[in-house]
Amino acid sequence: MLKKTLKIAGIIILLLIASLFAIPIFFKDQIKAKIVNAINQKVDAKVSFADADLSLFKNFPNANVTIEKLAIINKAPFEGDTLVSLGELNLKMSVKELFKGDNEPINIDGISSKDGLINIIFNKDGIGNYDIAIKDDKPSTNDSKSKPLSLTVQNYKIENFQFRYFDERSKIKMLIDSLNHEGTGDFAASKLDLDTKSTAKISLDMDKVNYMNKVALTLDAVLGIDLENSKYTFKENKALINQLPLEFDGFIQLVDAGQEYDLKFKTPTSSFKNFLGVIPAAYAASLDNVKTTGDFSIVGFAKGLYSDTTVPKFNVEIASNNASFQYPDLPKSVQNIVIDTKIINQTGILNDTYINLDKLSFRIDQDVFNAKANIKNVTQNALVDAMLKGTINLGNLSKAYPIKLDKPLSGILKADVETKFDMQSVEKSQYQNINNTGTMSLSGFKYTDENGKALNISKAEIAFNPSRVSLKQFNASTGKSDLSVTGVLENFYGFIFKNQNLQGNFNLSSNQISVDDFVTTEKETPKVQTESTTTQKAATKKTEAMKIPAFLDCTLTAKANTVLYDNLTLKNVTGKLTIKDEKLTMENVKTDIFGGAIGLSGSVSTKGKTPTFDMDLGLSQVDIAQSFTQLDMLKKLAPIAGIVNGKLNSTIKLNGNLDSNELTPDLKTISGDLLGQFLSTTINSSNSTLLTALTSNIKFLALNKINLNDIKAAITFKDGKVNVKPFNIKYKDIQANIGGTHGFDQSMNYNIKFDVPAKYLGTDINNLISKLSASDVQQLESIPINAILTGSFSKPKITTDLKAAATNLTNQLVKQQKEKLVSKGTSALTDIINKNKKAGDTTKTAIPATKAEAEQKAKEQVKAKATDLLNGLFNKKKKPADTTKTN
């Protein structure tokens, strides 16, 4: 009996479990319909979600509805803006809610969501994008029919949310990131206590000025909620801003005109540790065991109406008197700390807010620093009156405060400055309205980065004049480089307060600048030993991409005795540099190098993803061997290094991409043209595989005797190909025309057209010509010979048209002699041929029977002789003497 009972119980349990899996399938479409119905009845926006699933296990014994990737997109006037985006939304409800009819509301007991975004925008007309509720002029008489979903929430939770707020009119931008918040309370009641826990990071900007940047906030609070009167009262609460503790009490109430505030807040104690808590924990380290004296307190209130035209009156007082602190592991303390700051609004009009930093003072050892400032008219045209005076030994900062530095600082900073200005004058560059006096200086400054590069500033001094800021002195060194800079900053305040570009004009002089000193490199990669091999991978250094700062808008007139760039040493470098919009423009830059001079104008831009350049270069009497050996670009354009000795004048126009790390030309992308003129130039063919092969194929060439003086050559290049425009050279009375193409990969395809007088075609030809009359020799034309150069410069392939040359010479000789041969008869032809026979030639000559036979015979004999001589000339083996008898 027991066995049967257990069996029945098991079947029932299995049926229940199967039902738990099956019920969601049956009710899934109903839940989706309810959600769509609820959304369509309530909002005027584009709403979408990827899916809606029902589970009876996630919050058992309750049901759980999960909506995935819910998005609410605004319509006009915020067309396309995202109002809400939720990665996941979970609704918890009783199982019985699943069995309600279509017109019955489903009660929601709990809500949770994660990976969400809430984006609130107010446009310049004051309209908010959150107002998407459908306006219904005819109130429903049956609330249940208009509420397919009903909230009876007991708890809610959001994880990893981001809240964005932007008001276009006031230019207030707030970002609450990494927001986690949860609350427990009975929303079914009209009055409840909501127990909440919140963590977030807050950033706040007003009119391009950042007031808070990722400030950590923690708030555990009990809120008394009166739903009927829309009143929210702070009861038990504890807040941390970074590590600063604060307590709140009072209330916020929603009224027709806006929100009514009556809040008070203060630090729970007056210990000076409260001040250290204001500083983000990443920079302040632990406050445990820090010794402090004196006090620090924040006390304030906000009371009044927040509306379109008013803000609550408020008063925030931050005070400390003769305080000090010392961290347990640091040798120095900060003493005589005085802080007296007030932020006050007494009228409820935002522009009437004023900030008084009446005193800020502290001392480290014997160095005292004082500051004060007053700011008023904050929203319309802020008026600033400030003073800085004192000395700070930078080396003492890390000895008194736990600043996280890879390398310690050193140097003495001194300031004695007073300034009065208004922000509109800063924005409009009306510097005559800015009143500055005083100086700031830095001496003995030294900083070493993690790569071991040290920056030393021996002396820097800035003078604040009524309408501008002058860099009176800046002497610095780093690595092999030294710098001396003077100049004027045109809009110092616009750069500091309004994120404007830094404008100025500067003069730079240097004995030596090494470009490598200003290129940062990453740390060496540690050597790694893998399981599959015992070989350790070599450590590598990786150069960071160089970038022209976007905020610079200035000119620099430079003069340097020596500039070291890659493997080049540039002397007497002068020129004007203009930096603007991430672009460096060079004007009339000159330098001595390669025994001559180079001038250049052009630009380099790092604004796009890939840096680009556009340059015009002028080379004046530079040494060919040096320039074409040390400049990789010239080596690719014209690989003549080691072949040609002498000087070169040239103009080069080129543009293309730059390597993003080293800002050197990417040769695969450059295009342009080059025009060059050789000066006092000779050829060293022994250093060239190509020229050696050329002279071995063409015997009459003596390349070391060719003079290239004043020869001009023009080339164009694009996509890794170089095209050489045909040009003429002359050796004795031999003319040559050279042209063709080659690639940066050293492949080539060139054609050399020689115009060679017959006398250069060997001894045998000269002997033959000597038998001709002077008038006949003068009538002989130069013989055209073509040489085709293919392959590569290191492995050339050379072909010549010997057959065509032989035919050409034969035709000339036949043309000259046939009339003479025919007129003189067969005996004359026989005499000419016999006179030019070599010893051992026993060939008998038959007597032609007719004039036509004589002409044909003469042509064949001369052609055979000329071909034989040309073959010998071009280093081909002669055929054995023909002893065949002629019939």
Question: Which pLDDT band, with edges at 50, 70 and 90, does 878 fall under?
Answer: very low
Query: How many Cα neighbours within 13 Å face the side chain of 30?
Result: 16
What percentage of residues in the chain have a pLDDT greater than 70?
A: 72
Please tell me the distance from the alpha carbon of residue 410 to that of residue 398, in angstroms, as a whole number: 10
The tens digit of pLDDT for each residue in 382-419 reads: 899 999 999 999 989 888 988 777 777 889 999 999 99
* Residue 174 confidence (pLDDT) above 70: yes
What does the pLDDT read at residue 361? 95
What does the pLDDT read at residue 92? 81
* Residue 304 confidence (pLDDT) above 90: yes
Please tell me the distance from the alpha carbon of residue 398 to that of residue 412, in angstroms, as a whole number: 14
The tens digit of pLDDT for each residue in 766-805 reads: 666 665 666 666 666 677 888 888 888 888 888 887 667 6
Taking CB atoms within 8 Å and a gap of at least 24, the contacts of 514-519 are: 514/479, 514/480, 514/481, 514/563, 514/564, 515/563, 515/564, 515/565, 515/566, 516/479, 516/480, 516/564, 517/453, 517/478, 517/479, 517/480, 517/481, 518/478, 518/481, 519/543, 519/544, 519/546, 519/662
Q: Which residue has the higher pLDDT, 40 or 755?
A: 755
What does the pLDDT read at residue 72? 87
| Token pair recorded at residue 27 | 């009710």
What count of residues does the chain have?
887
Comparing C-alpha atoms, which of 104, 98, 94 is closest to residue 62? 94
Dmax over CA atoms of the chain, in Å, equals: 148
What percentage of residues in the chain have a pLDDT greater than 90?
A: 25
- Name the strand (E) or helix (H) holding 336: strand 334-345
Judged by DSSP in three states, 7 sits in: helix
Taking CB atoms within 8 Å and a gap of at least 24, the contacts of 684-693 are: 684/642, 684/643, 684/644, 684/645, 685/643, 687/642, 687/643, 688/642, 688/643, 688/793, 689/793, 689/794, 689/795, 689/796, 690/789, 690/793, 690/796, 691/643, 693/796, 693/798
Judged by DSSP in three states, 35 sits in: helix
Query: Could you tell me if 752 and 738 are in contact, meaning their C-beta atoms sit under 8 angstroms apart?
Result: yes
* Residue 16 confidence (pLDDT) above 50: no
Indicate yes or no: pTM above 0.85. Answer: no
Q: Look-up: residue for tokens 């003068």?
A: 778
Q: Letter for the amino acid at 454?
A: A
Judged by DSSP in three states, 436 sits in: strand
